[in-house]
Chains A and B, each alone.
Chain A
Amino acid sequence: MGYHLHRQIREAVKTLLDGLTTTETRVYANRLQPMADANLPGLRVFMDDEDVDSLTIHAPVVQDRKVGLIVECCAKAASGLDDTLDASSKEVETALAAGITISGHVLPAVYAGMQFDDAISDKPVGIKRLRFFITYTAMSNAPDVLT
């Protein structure tokens, strides 16, 4: 049995975002990744929630799933913080525009909006939190396989 599709999707997104101009290899598939200066500017990739519709009646049911993918663009800068976050955001949105590929299937990653957050520190820190939706279909007894 393979990994849960959530993990497969997260790892595919991480691979896709690895090597972008602003964040280079500082991509972490971990919502709790502590971002030290050496990790910035960087990306945190994780999932927030998922909605599921059952398409059939009898078990195992076919499930239409819509998972919320979060990509946090994180940066710390004495000046131009928003510019850095916007540049990172542009690179992420562009990279995900063609969707992600899982087991030969292309899953669209639909951009659903963003939210800024910032705080004072030894230098200003900020996060641009990008939301995407990824829809896919799986059997209720095989959440590791696309249907």
Chain B
Amino acid sequence: MSFAALEARVNAAGKTKLSNAAATVGGVPGISGIFDDAYIDPLGMSGSQPSLLCASADVSAAAQGAAVVVNAVSYTVGSIQADGTGMTRLLLQEA
């Protein structure tokens, strides 16, 4: 098995086992991913950093500013961070 095939298999397994949200990204519903919304306090102001880690293929059409809905909360894509292994993290901002 090639490394690329192994990588794709691991990504698929991780997505299946670890996904905790089905999101709508850029109008496309049902995109599964790992949603995280950890507390942060930039500049001494309390907040959180919502992000959605998805298979890159699922969000290849997503652009900065695209609408995202996760758990009935509306966000926009603030930044798109592909990790080069087939996964992409969308940093989200509340709309």
User: A123-B94, A124-B93 are contacts. A117–B47 as well, Cβ < 8 Å?
Assistant: no
Residue B48 at the A interface, CB < 8 A?
yes
Question: Among the interface residues B45, B47, B78, B93, which one has the most CB atoms of the partner chain A within 10 A?
Answer: B45
Residue B86 at the A interface, CB < 8 A?
no
Of the stretches A9-17, A31-39, A89-97, the one at the interface is: A31-39
Decide if A117 touches B43 in the complex (CB within 8 Å): yes
- Chain B interface size, under 10 / 10 to 19 / 20 to 34 / 35 or more: 10 to 19
* A74 CB to nearest B CB, Å: 6
Determine the chain B residues whose CB is within 8 A of the CB of A127 once the complex forms.
Answer: 43
Interface residues of A in 72-91 (CB under 8 A from B): 74, 76, 78
Decide if B47 touches A125 in the complex (CB within 8 Å): yes
* CB-nearest residue of chain B to A37: B46
Give the residue of B43, B50, B79, B91 whose beta carbon is less than 8 angstroms from that of A125.
B43
Decide if A120 touches B42 in the complex (CB within 8 Å): yes
The B interface is mostly helix, strand or loop, or mixed, namely strand
Interface residues of A in 51-110 (CB under 8 A from B): 74, 76, 78
Decide if A34 touches B43 in the complex (CB within 8 Å): no
Decide if B44 touches A122 in the complex (CB within 8 Å): no
Decide if B95 touches A119 in the complex (CB within 8 Å): no
Residue A20 at the B interface, CB < 8 A?
no
Decide if A120 touches B45 in the complex (CB within 8 Å): no
Give the residue of B37, B41, B43, B47 whose beta carbon is less than 8 angstroms from that of A123.
B47
Determine the chain A residues whose CB is within 8 A of the CB of B42 once the complex forms.
Answer: 119-121, 125
Determine the chain B residues whose CB is within 8 A of the CB of A34 once the complex forms.
Answer: 41, 44-46
Complex Cα spacing A97 to B19, Å: 56
Which residue numbers of B lie inside 8 Å of A, CB to CB?
Answer: 37, 40-50, 78-79, 91-95
5 A-B pairs with least C-beta separation: A121-B47, A119-B42, A35-B45, A125-B45, A36-B46
Please give 11 more A-B residue pairs, beta carbons under 8 A apart, in addition to A34-B45, A119-B43, A122-B47.
A32-B44, A35-B45, A44-B44, A74-B43, A78-B93, A118-B43, A120-B78, A121-B40, A122-B50, A122-B93, A124-B93
